[in-house]
């Protein structure tokens, strides 16, 4: 991640950052397979900061055929949002 921008409030915060995912395997040379932006939200609970939401906004997809995770949802929907607050 790089180019991190943070907006801080009392019990909430948000951040934007850029990311690049690279991968290399025995028969797959090192290359960028995905890049884009994270839009994150945080909440402060009992004096501990936690993620409350992450939106992934991809800008580039390379060869994902060797990648283990399911990125089809992100490729087909342009953005993917995950809420991660534990209550």
- Positive/negative CA dihedral, 17, 18, 20, 21: positive
Domain of 63, CATH number, reads 3.10.450.50
**Where are the alpha helices (H) located in the chain, listed in sequence order?**
72-77
φ, ψ dihedrals at 40, nearest 5° = -115, 150
Containing structural domain, residue 19: 2-83
Give per-residue pLDDT as tens, 18-74.
999 999 988 889 999 999 999 999 999 999 999 999 999 999 999 888 776 555 555
3-state secondary structure of 62: coil
pTM score of the predicted model: 0.71
Domain count, the chain: 1
């Amino acid at each position: 991640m790089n180019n991190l921008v943070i907006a801080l409030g009392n019990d909430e915060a948000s951040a934007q950052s850029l990311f690049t995912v690279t991968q290399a395997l025995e028969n797959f040379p090192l290359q960028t397979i995905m890049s884009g932006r994270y839009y994150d939200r945080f909440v402060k609970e009992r004096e501990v900061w936690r993620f409350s939401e992450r939106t992934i906004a991809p800008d580039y997809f390379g060869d994902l055929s060797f990648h283990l995770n399911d990125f089809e949802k992100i490729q087909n929907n342009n953005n993917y949002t995950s809420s991660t607050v534990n209550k």
